[in-house]
Amino acid sequence: MNRQLPWIVLIASLILSGCAGMGDSVSHFLQSGPFWRAEQTDAVRQRARQLETDGDLALALAHWRVVRQITFDKTDAKQEIARLEKTIAASVQAHFQEGQRALHQKKRRAARDHFLAALRLDPDFQPAREQLNVLWAPFPFMIYRTAKDEDLADVAKAVYGDRSHAFLVAWFNDLPEDATPAPETVLILPKKEKAATDLNAVPDETTQKATVLAALETARHNLAIDNQLNLARKHVANGRFRQGLDTAEKVVAEAPDHSAARNLAIKARFRLAREHVDQGDFLKARAVLARADESDAPSMALKSRVENRLVELAQEHYRNGVKHFINENLKAAIREWEQALACNPNHPKVRENIANARQLIEKIETMP
């Protein structure tokens, strides 16, 4: 024991003398790297609870999943996720049952609203989607699986009793009329009764047949728009704001008067920009908000906040560049000033300073 005493004293001295500096190092370590994200957990928690209070359960669930990713103690996040998943599943079933009940009572609008509410909570809930597709499709469709060596005329004969209707099979499936699909190819076709009613009335009249086809094209276009819009909603509900924005904007491009798609694009753009702001990436936030709808007050307020912050950051980079210039570190000064210019392209001094620094570097490098 006596032999070990000097070593114990030495180790204790080293520990005591290094405590202060070591505390600062640990503090710096904990505040660096990925750990800074943990500071956002309280804000994300509050937003999740507010979203749940507002009735937006799917988005609240997405926020708790973010908390689970960035927090050190994941216990409460896991509990909230499990609770919300159970609540959402129960709400989905409740809306579906209410929709079924409304259908039996011939209240089609109420049934549709309940089925849509179920899909808003869970875009993958197929029973509600199937009800909507069957009862509210713009045109009654059917599925046909091809057999071996069966061409489109054979399909037309099998479905409509007339090989000359091969053009209808081709049009609905983007195929040439002489195509022979592989066995078990899934084809989407208008149901026999509806197609027979529309086409048999004018079997050989080209112009009237074209009118029928135009109506079918409109129906198919509307169905494709609805599918894209549902996909965009699913992306946004699951926190994939970039994918949601891109998909919603495609719908708006194809249907400029589609108010639901336009509103979803506005919502997705705002949330994507806010996500960048929360991450401290104000340049990306500005790029997203560059095309923000000026009629949307929250987007305009966020855009103003981002622009003001970028002006502040530009000034910080400018001052850092001046410090490097004074210390004769010209390349570092240029890098800081270029960042200042990226933050604020209208900065009054940056461009001139960059030009002067580059001239100095050129003179220094050409000196004998």
Reduced to 3 states (helix: H, G, I; strand: E, B; else coil), residue 349 is coil
Q: What is the average per-residue pLDDT within 267-279?
A: 93
Q: 169: buried, middle or exposed (CB in 10 Å: 19+, 13-18, 0-12)?
A: buried
User: For the chain, where are the E strands, in sequence order?
Assistant: 141-145, 186-190
Q: Tell me the residue type at 277.
A: V
Q: Distances in Å between the alpha carbon of 155 and those of 59, 151, 338? A: 45, 6, 65
Both 188 and 234 in one domain: the answer is no
Is residue 111 in some structural domain? yes
Of 268, 293, 318, the last residue of a domain is: 293
In this prediction, residue 185 carries a pLDDT of 82
pLDDT digits 0-9 by tens, 59-104: 888 888 888 887 777 888 888 889 988 988 998 999 889 988 987 8
Mean pLDDT computed over 250-260: 88
pLDDT at 126: 83
Domain assignment of residue 152, yes or no: yes
Q: Residue 13's pLDDT band (boundaries 50, 70, 90)?
A: very low
What is the reported pLDDT for 19? 43
Q: Which residues pair with 141 in a beta bridge?
A: 190
Ordered DSSP codes for 30-59 = HTSGGGGGGGGHHHHHHHHHHHHHTT-HHH
Q: Are both 346 and 256 inside the same structural domain?
A: no
Which whole number is the average pLDDT over 190-202?
52
Q: Is 90 exceeded by the pLDDT of residue 207?
A: no
Q: Quick one: average pLDDT of 276-297?
A: 91
When pLDDT is cut at 50, 70 and 90, the band that residue 22 belongs to is very low
Q: Residue 348: what pLDDT?
A: 85
Domain interval for residue 340: 307-366
Residues 128 and 40 in one domain: yes
Distance CA 283, CA 241 (A): 17
pTM: 0.44
Q: What is the DSSP letter of 255?
A: -
Looking at the domain assignment, is residue 166 inside a domain?
Answer: yes
Last residue of a domain, one of 201, 222, 244: 201
Q: In the predicted model, is pLDDT for residue 204 greater than 60?
A: no
What residue type is assigned to position 365 of the chain? E
Check whether residue 42 and residue 109 sit in a common domain.
yes
> Is residue 233 within 8 Å of 120, Cβ to Cβ?
yes
Q: What is the mean pLDDT of residues 304-329?
A: 91
